[in-house]
């Protein structure tokens, strides 16, 4: 092999190593608690009616779009896809509203406030992210490519020992080190669940580049955070999210 060819091969090898190293950089993640105002109290009947109304609207919009553009979503115009997704988000948020701000019980006791204890979830998540090879805790919000806002936690009555009972609710949005467009395009096709551990209430749309999801565990909130690390690693890997552009 002549010197010129050797130099070219060596240069290509250096480029490949550099690219691999860049891709391998863990995603800087900043975790914080966000306590949002509680919505007005509603009865169980009102919550159920809101879910039914949102579901009917979702079905009506989807049916009209399919009649006009066919069944394959990849063939729909972008604004149409966004409208359908917004309707799906509204339906799932109505379900989340019932789960995280439920009606009073029959004995008139107020429901447990699902906005309590969020700081402990932040600590658990930060510790778990520190164990990851795909993510790393960001010291400041400004340094983050991904921001995770802990907005709620709840327990659910279950009958099976393997059913999820302890849920943490997270909002994922791009940090200053990632553009909204990059976040929306990279993570948009991702699918949360369906399984007994993860549920996505909101998928990114043109009006909001964020995910609203919950992650559960049958054991404890700390275990939910451990499950969240695995789920988030899959999310980062499958979405090909990276601070390297």
Do 64 and 177 fall into the same domain?
no
Res. 2 pLDDT band, cuts 50 70 90: low
Do 146 and 94 fall into the same domain?
no
Do 129 and 179 fall into the same domain?
yes
72-122 per-position pLDDT tens digit: 888 999 999 999 999 999 999 999 999 999 987 766 667 789 999 999 999
In the numeric block, the tokens 């669940």 are attached to 193
CB contact at 8 A, 223 and 168: no
Do 228 and 132 fall into the same domain?
yes
Do 85 and 206 fall into the same domain?
no
Contacts of residue 159, defined as CB under 8 A and 6 or more positions apart, other chains included, come to none
Do 121 and 95 fall into the same domain?
no
CB contact at 8 A, 150 and 122: yes
Do 134 and 194 fall into the same domain?
yes
Residue 123 φ/ψ region, left for φ over 0, alpha for ψ in the -120 to 50 degree band, beta for the rest: alpha
End-to-end CA distance of the chain: 35
Do 64 and 147 fall into the same domain?
no
CB contact at 8 A, 80 and 72: no
CB contact at 8 A, 193 and 205: no
Q: What per-residue confidence (pLDDT) applies to 22?
A: 43
Q: What per-residue confidence (pLDDT) applies to 147?
A: 97
Residue that terminates a domain, selected from 100, 123, 144: 100
Do 91 and 172 fall into the same domain?
no
Res. 24 pLDDT band, cuts 50 70 90: low
Give the number of domains in the chain. 2
217-237 mean pLDDT: 92
CA distance 234 to 144: 18
7-21 mean pLDDT: 42
Residue 131 structural domain? 27-36+114-238
Would you say residue 15 lies in a domain?
no
In the numeric block, the tokens 């860049």 are attached to 22
Residue that terminates a domain, selected from 100, 126, 141: 100
Contacts of residue 102, defined as CB under 8 A and 6 or more positions apart, other chains included, come to 44, 47, 111
């Amino acid at each position: 092999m002549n010197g010129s060819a050797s130099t070219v091969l060596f240069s290509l090898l250096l480029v490949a190593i550099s690219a691999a190293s860049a891709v391998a950089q863990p995603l800087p993640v900043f975790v914080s608690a966000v306590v949002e105002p509680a919505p007005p109290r509603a009865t169980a009947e009102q919550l159920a009616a809101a879910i039914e109304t949102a579901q009917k609207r979702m079905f009506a919009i989807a049916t009209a779009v399919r009649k006009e553009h066919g069944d394959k979503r990849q063939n729909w115009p972008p604004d149409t896809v966004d409208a359908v997704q917004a309707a799906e988000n509204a339906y799932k948020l109505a379900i989340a509203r019932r789960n995280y701000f439920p009606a009073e019980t029959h004995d008139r006791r107020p429901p447990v406030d699902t906005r309590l204890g969020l700081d402990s979830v932040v600590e658990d998540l930060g510790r778990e992210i520190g164990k990851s090879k795909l993510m790393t805790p960001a010291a400041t919000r400004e340094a983050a490519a991904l921001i995770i806002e802990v907005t709620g936690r709840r327990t659910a009555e279950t009958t099976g020992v393997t059913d999820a009972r302890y849920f943490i609710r997270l909002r994922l949005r791009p940090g200053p080190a990632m553009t909204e467009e990059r976040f929306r395009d990279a993570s948009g096709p991702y699918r949360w669940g369906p399984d007994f551990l993860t549920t996505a209430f909101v998928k990114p749309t043109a009006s909001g580049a964020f995910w609203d999801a919950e992650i559960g565990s049958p054991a404890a909130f700390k275990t939910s955070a451990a499950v969240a690390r695995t789920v988030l690693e899959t999310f980062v890997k499958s979405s090909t999210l990276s601070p390297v552009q």
